[in-house]
Structure formats: structure tokens, C-alpha cells
Amino acid sequence: MKFFSSNTPILYSGWIVLTIIVVAFLEACTPSNAHNDQLEQNPYLGINAPSFELPDYHGALYNSAQYKGKYAVIHIATTWCPYCNAEAPYLEKLYQAYKDKGVEVLIIDVKEDKELVKEKLIDRFNLSFPVLMDADGQVAASFAPDDVIPELARDEVMLAANLIIGPEGKIQFFSLLNTNDFDAQLIHLKSRLDALLQ
């Protein structure tokens, strides 16, 4: 019996097409990878968040210890980051909606002049929660996992990241920017927050 016949190319093409269809179906049925990572595979959940002390625009110092006993939503940003700008109005909405539930919101701005931050971030989006100045990027860098894009600077890895720190100081939500699955309206973060507040 011949292993290859004159019909072999047609059959081979057919199997490839069938395989592609099956894989596409499986991919379509699989929930967003970013969401999956957050809920099931994120190795950073439950670990102690780094401590920090940073000034706001007015020079008032904010220490991570003062958030013990509360939930803190932290967004790491710059004024020029388009995804940070897209999220900013929703962070303000989130703060207004959750501040009476023991939830604090803050932005850590990385390596920018405070007057620029005031103009392009605080005033532009009318933010009523603290925007802290991480002048040398060290605090942002301290949140970055060592094994994520290791060739990038740690503070650069954290741009547009979102975290929830729990009342005991442990990370309860950790999301790095994924522009292919960008969650400007913070749907996943709010979902996690609601679950934590139950």
C-alpha cells in the first residue's frame, strides 16, 4: 500500500484547515488572558506590598503605613502615558464611588516635575485623591517583579500598572499594562474590589 497517494496534498490541506478552525474556536472560548492571569496565575497576589513614603504636590508626606486597615488602589503613571490619561477619569469616578467604603485611591507619578503633574494630571482630570511624586522612580521600581521584561528598567515596567493593597498590606490585585486588553474603565479592578469588600 502506498503511504502517499495522489490525493495526499488535498487531504493534508484539509487537516490543516480543520486544525486552524479548532484552534480558533478554542481561543475564542478562552477568557481574556489578562483576566485569567489576574485571577488564577498571578504569583504576586498575597505578597506584602513594598512600603513607601512620598510627597504629594504640596509636599505633604504619604506613608504606606497610613493605609493599613484600608484598601488602597494604586495607579503608577506619567503625564505623557496615553493609557494613564485614559484611566485617570475612571480612577476619579472609582474614588468617588468607593471612598465611603474604606477605599483609598492614589497615583504614583514617576520622575516628573510637580508643576507638570499638577497641570497635566491633577488639574486636567480634576483629581481629588493624592498624586504622589516618585522623583527618582524608586518606589515604582520597588513594585516591579524581577522576572517581568527583565531588560527594561523596573520603573518603566510599572508604567500604567494598577494594584490593590489590602488592609493587611498584601497585594490583592496586580495588573500590568496590556495595550491589547486595555481596561481603561477599570472593570477588572472594580470586580476584584467588589469581591474583596463583600
- List residues binding other proteins (CB under 8 A): 15-16, 18-20, 22-23, 27, 79-83, 85-86, 120, 124, 149, 151-153, 156-157, 159-160, 176-185
Q: In whole angstroms, how close is the CB of 11 to other proteins at the nearest point?
A: 9
Smallest gap from residue 12 Cβ to other proteins (A): 8
Q: What pairing do the DSSP bridges indicate for beta strands 162-165 and 171-175?
A: antiparallel
Considering beta carbons, is residue 142 or 178 the nearer one to other proteins?
178
DSSP per-residue string spanning 72-103: EEEEEE-TT-HHHHHHHHHHHHHHHHHGGGTE
How near is the Cβ of 28 to other proteins at its closest, in Å? 12
Minimum distance of other proteins from residue 91's CB (angstroms): 13
Q: Which residues contact 125 (CB under 8 A, 6 or more apart)?
A: 85, 88, 89, 92
Which lies closer to other proteins via its Cβ, residue 92 or residue 156? 156
Whose Cβ is closer to other proteins: residue 73's or residue 159's?
Answer: 159
Query: Who's near 5: CB < 8 A, 6+ residues apart?
Result: none
Of the pair 154, 193, the CB lying nearest other proteins is at: 154
**Burial class of residue 115, CB neighbours in 10 A (0-12, 13-18, 19+):** exposed
The residue among 56 and 155 lying less far from other proteins, judged by its C-beta, is 155
Q: Are 153 and 141 in contact (CB under 8 A)?
A: yes
- Supply 141's cell numbers: 521600581
Q: How far is the CB of 87 from other proteins (least distance, A)?
A: 8
Residue 139, amino acid: V
